Amino acid sequence: MGVFFVHSGLKNVYGAGEWGVSVFLIMSGFLCVNRYYPKMNGMQVDFKSNLVFAIKRISGIYWLHFALTFGFLPFYFLGTNTEHFLSVLFKYVINFLLLQAWFVIPYMSINRVSWYLSAILFCYFLFPWMLKIIDKFSKKKVICAIVFLYLFELLSAIVAAFLDCADVSFYNCYAGWVIYYHPVFRSIDFMIGCLVGKLYISESDDVRKKWKKMNNYTSLCIIGLILVLHGIYNHFNTIQIQTFGSVLIIKIISVAGFSITSCMLVYLFAKNDTKIVYIMTNKFLIFVGDMSKYMYLIHFFVFEYIGRVLWRVGGENFYKKYGVIAKLTIGLIITIVLSMIWQKFARIIKNRRYEKQSLS
């Protein structure tokens, strides 16, 4: 929901989107290890096999990405847009091949949020190799690897803050792209999720029982820490005159702080033995969670169309006054409805594939 709030234009929720992306990536790595670790002996690990594995992992959502990308086509040929046809064609080819996050050119993702598919495809491609490596890790090595990756993220945040404050001209195009969009850098969170998944699998029953009584308090502390980090992040983001110190805090929280708290939350909630988990696993949230991968791609498409309609109907002031409300009400409803339709369509296609395979 944090990503929805940010893209709706709601104020003082700047970090919610970045935190949401970290949760997605860490949870993806965590779930992949839990699913494939028990049957890793049967997995082939080579370039071709890894590529096939990655494509299969995103095949269920790729055609939604394809359809939504086509849905943005009118924006390039209507209104005041003057972008050259060949430039638009190049963007579409790159987006259909899921290579948009590899390019530094601003706004290469036609559906702005689809860069995530480009990044997660690379993560899935690396996953079989990751699984083979971490299988040999002891618990101590897993913890050391997690610490090393977080130290690397921390160092990256410091470098990014320095470039920002030094007013280096290529920062916004290069450094900002690397630490947020680039598949190689975003694979770090995915790797951390994989390592946390290995820790969880190797955890003994005695250890789980030992910590069970403390899980309710721990989960409250983690949620409290997340809220505090968001408060600090939003506070320093609203300062008009930024100093190196304020920029450094913003970068550390966005690059490492959100990742660490996401990791803690995923690990704790996986235990599924706290009252907070029970509260958050009600029917509505489970329903939203099942459709989240569709809603993530669809919502920006819907928000863009709502924004264009409002601007066309009432002008700039009308859009500024009612844009956020319209996106968080009408936009959210349309997003949920379209996600439900696509989910049903995807299930029908999946069932037909299984039927064909069983017949053959």
Residue 222's contacts (CB-CB under 8 Å, 6 or more residues apart) are 261, 264, 265, 268
Res 356: pLDDT: 65
pLDDT digits (tens, 9 = 90+) for 287-329: 666 778 888 889 888 888 888 888 778 787 887 787 788 888 8
Pick from 327, 146, 179, 342: nearest CA to 253: 179
233 neighbors 254 (Cβ within 8 angstroms): yes
Rg (CA), the chain: 21
Q: Among 67-76, 79-88, 106-115, which stretch is predicted with the lowest mean pLDDT? A: 79-88
Average pLDDT over residues 241-266: 77
Q: Which residue has the higher pLDDT, 87 or 277?
A: 87
Q: Is 30 a residue whose pLDDT tops 80?
A: yes
Q: Is 345 a residue whose pLDDT tops 70?
A: yes
* Most confident among 19-28, 162-171, 200-209 (mean pLDDT): 19-28
Task: Sort residue 202 into left (φ over 0), alpha (ψ -120 to 50) or beta.
Answer: alpha
Q: Is 231 a residue whose pLDDT tops 60?
A: yes
Between CA 36 and CA 135 the distance in angstroms is 11
Average pLDDT over residues 253-267: 79
- For 120, other C-beta atoms within 10 Å of its C-beta total 25
Q: Among 59-73, 86-100, 152-166, 308-322, which stretch is predicted with the lowest mean pLDDT? A: 152-166
How much of the chain exceeds pLDDT 70, in percent? 80
Between CA 268 and CA 220 the distance in angstroms is 11
Between CA 194 and CA 123 the distance in angstroms is 11
Q: Among 94-108, 213-227, 258-272, 331-345, which stretch is predicted with the lowest mean pLDDT? A: 213-227
Residue 205's contacts (CB-CB under 8 Å, 6 or more residues apart) are none
Compute the mean pLDDT over every residue in the chain, rounded to the nearest whole number.
79
Model confidence at 350, in pLDDT bands (50, 70, 90)? Answer: confident
Helical H runs in the chain? 2-8, 14-36, 47-71, 74-77, 85-96, 115-134, 139-165, 176-180, 183-202, 205-212, 215-237, 244-252, 258-271, 275-280, 283-326, 332-359
Residue 250's contacts (CB-CB under 8 Å, 6 or more residues apart) are 161, 233, 236, 237
* Most confident among 44-48, 257-261, 356-360 (mean pLDDT): 44-48
Res 126: pLDDT: 92
Residue with tokens 């990256």: 156
Average pLDDT over residues 185-204: 86
Res 239: pLDDT: 72
Res 103: pLDDT: 81
Q: Among 12-16, 112-116, 173-177, 330-334, which stretch is predicted with the lowest mean pLDDT? A: 173-177
Res 170: pLDDT: 47
